[in-house]
A = this chain, B = another copy of it.
Amino acid sequence: MIRIAVDAMGGDFAPQEIVAGAILAMRRDPFQLILVGQPDAIHAELDKHDTTGLDIQIEKASEFVRMNEQPAMALRQKPDASILVSTAMVRDGRADASVTMGHTGAGMIASLWNLGRIEGILRPAAGITYFGLQGDTFVIDVGLNVDCKAQYLLQFAVMGSVYMQKIRGIPNPTVGLLSNGSEDNKGHEVARETFPLLKKSGLNFVGNVEGMDIPFGTVNVIVCDGFVGNVALKLTEGLSEELLNAVERTARETFPADAFTTYLTPALSRVRQMMDYTEIGAAAVLGVDGVSVIGHGRSRAKAVVSAIQQAKTDVERELIDAIKQGWAEVALKQVI
């Protein structure tokens, strides 16, 4: 049985929504749950649920990182923080994966510290599936590495490609390099250096892609540094909100009140849900030597279920081994 360590203290609605979501996930598809955090708080939440027949353990962690803390400093000051305990369990072979809805930066740093890098991988990166307006696109890196070298971006491409193949079942995923134009010679210095590396990587590299290709879902994997990836992700969040609000505002003028409520409200809330980061996906920290999934801080139970399912799939399909193998193959091609 797969053992998932879930950071019960991380996230805006922890521990209640985390515990509720974890139990929901177990009912759907059993696994061994290890709730990491303050035992009293966790017990209080567990008491609200029927946990008959569920394999739930509690791993004590006396502290946790708050959402507004400076992550590296907080982790140094709190060696018994829940996210450190949770990732350490994976490192020590006591769990197969770590899942948190807590501080994103802290989750990433804790993963790096405790799981370490896969041999040969220079910089682990965070990837996220950009929701499917057209087709799903995995964007990597979305924030771990703001200053990148071409070799890093090459490795992001390998890890993203392996992820989409193994986890999303896409054979030979297409890979695009995010740039300021689709022509081969476009891009800043690092992008221009990355281009030939991707060309001879053996990956299904289709060339440079542009900003619109992210929502258009033109390729399966979009490679970029964590600075532009982060800007793109947050711009998406903000623009989606603003645009849907603009539709709502405008429609209030063209609609009679009853038609607005009857027809438009449900349509808009469906699209809002489609774009809701707290509902869909979670960031995968790739390149560390163990499975670590970081959901949105505002996650409710439903999103916790999907983050846990993502972690389970990563374990079942042996994502870490696949990344090791994927990189070994590409590294060989780089030498030749």
Q: Which of A189, A211, A245, A251 has the most CB of B within 10 A?
A: A211
Complex Cα–Cα for A188 and B141 (A): 14
A237 interface contact, C-beta 8 A: yes
Interface residues in A14-53 by Cβ distance below 8 A to B read none
A268 interface contact, C-beta 8 A: yes
A328 interface contact, C-beta 8 A: no
Question: Are the C-beta atoms of B238 and A187 separated by less than 8 Å?
Answer: no
**CB nearest neighbor in B for A142:** B180
Question: Are the C-beta atoms of A211 and B188 separated by less than 8 Å?
Answer: no
Among B215, B254, B259, B271, point to the contact of A247 (Cβ < 8 A).
Answer: B271
Contacts of A134 in B (CB 8 A): 242
Question: Are the C-beta atoms of A259 and B263 separated by less than 8 Å?
Answer: yes
Complex Cα–Cα for A162 and B188 (A): 27
For this chain, the copies found in one complex come to 2
Q: For the complex, count residues of A whose C-beta is within 8 A of B.
A: 62
Question: Are the C-beta atoms of B187 and A211 separated by less than 8 Å?
Answer: no
Question: Are the C-beta atoms of A243 and B267 separated by less than 8 Å?
Answer: no
Contacts of A210 in B (CB 8 A): 230-231, 234
Question: Are the C-beta atoms of B225 and A147 separated by less than 8 Å?
Answer: no
Complex Cα–Cα for A134 and B243 (A): 10
A74 interface contact, C-beta 8 A: no
Complex Cα–Cα for A137 and B68 (A): 27
Contacts of A212 in B (CB 8 A): 234-235, 237-239, 241
Instruction: Kindly provide the distance from the CB of A32 to the nearest chain B CB, expressed in whole angstroms.
Output: 36
Among B187, B235, B254, point to the contact of A263 (Cβ < 8 A).
Answer: B254
Contacts of A253 in B (CB 8 A): 267
Contacts of A271 in B (CB 8 A): 243, 246-247, 250
A214 interface contact, C-beta 8 A: yes
Q: Which residues of A contact B (CB under 8 A)?
A: 70, 133-134, 143, 146-147, 178-181, 183, 187-189, 191, 210-216, 224-228, 230-247, 250-251, 253-256, 259-260, 263-264, 266-268, 270-271, 274-275
Q: A211-B235, A256-B263 are in contact. List 5 more A-B contacts (CB 8 A).
A: A180-B230, A181-B230, A212-B238, A213-B238, A259-B263
